[in-house]
Structure 1
Amino acid sequence: MTQDGYYAVQLNSIEIPGEFDISFLTRTSNLKAGNIIFDSGTVMTMLDTDVVDELVRELTDFVSLPTEKPVAPHFKLCFAVRSTEQEEELPALWFGFNGQSGNLRVGPDKLFVWVSRFVKCLVITGTNDKVQVFGHITQQNFLVGHDLEKMELSIIEKDCTKLHEP
C-alpha cells in the first residue's frame, strides 16, 4: 500500500531456516499498512534497533568467523574475512513477507560489504523510528515492481547487469 509516497509491505520475519527466526508480528510501526518500505534512495536497510540487536546476536553465534570492531557507528556487525573460503561462510537471510512476495532469499553479497581489505560489515542498521526501510544495497539484483492498482509488490531476482542485453 502506498503511504506518504512510499510502498509499505508487511515483513513478518527474518530467518536462516533451521537456525533462527526473528518475528516481527509483535513489533509496532507508524505505517498504516505494513511495517517496512522499499526505498531505492536509502543505502542501508534500517530495522528496529531491537531487531538488529537480536539479528547481530544470532549471526555472531551462527558465523564462525572472528568479529571485528565496526569501522563506523552505522555498522553493527563486522567480520574478519581473509579468504574466499571464509567469505563463503557469510550466510544468506530469508525475509518473510505477506502476500505475493512470500519468502525472499537475500544473499550474502547483498548483506555484507567490504569496508577494508579484510573486513566485511552487515548493511542492516538499527533505527528508533517506527518506519523501517529495505535499502538499495539489499535490493541489488532484484527487480522490484510496484503495482499500485492491485496494491502489490513483486520481487524477482535478476542480474541487473544484463537487463539491456538483446
Structure 2
Amino acid sequence: MSWFRRPALPDPVRRALDLPATDRVLASAELADGSWAVATRAGLLTSDAGGTTVVRHLWSDVDRAGYDPESATITVTWVDGAPPLALRLADPRRTSLAQTLRERVQSSVVLSETVTFAAGLTARVAVRRDADGELFSQVVADPGLDLTDPEVEARVDAAEGRVRSASGLPL
C-alpha cells in the first residue's frame, strides 16, 4: 500500500521552511532534481534537497501557472515579469501540488478585469488578497504595453477604480 502514500517532506527541508505558527504545509512534491516544492497557506516555497536554500514566493506574486502532464512540469509565471519557474515533478501521481497551487492562486484573486488594447495587448487589473488577508490592487501588463502612455494609463486607472470600488477598497 505504500504506493498510494505521498512522499514525506524530509526533516531537513521541513525545518528549513521555518514556517510561522500561522502557516502550514498544504502540499509538497519532490522534484526531478531532488529538490522540493512546497505549497503553504502563505505561498510557494522551493528548497534544495538538503534544505539549505529556501526561496519563498507569496501567492499574490504568481501571475499564473500551468501544468504540462507530458513532461510533468508546473510552470509558474510572476507578476513582476521575472523568468518563469519550472517545477518538474519526480512523480506527479503522488502529489497534489499542481491542484493546490491552482487553488491558492485562485483564492488570492478577489476580482479582476482585463483591458484590451491595440495589437491584442492586455493589462490585467486585479484585487488580490495577501497572506494576511489584506486586499490590494495589482496591474499586470503584457510585455510591450506602455503603462505610461496617457490613453493606456487612463483606461487602466478606470479599470482599477472599478475593481477597487466593487471590492470595497478605497479609490
Q: TM-score, normalised by structure 1?
A: 0.21
If each structure's helix is expressed as a fraction of its own residues, which one has the higher value? 2
Q: TM-score, normalised by structure 2?
A: 0.21
Relative contact order (C-alpha < 8 Å, sep 6+): which is higher? 1
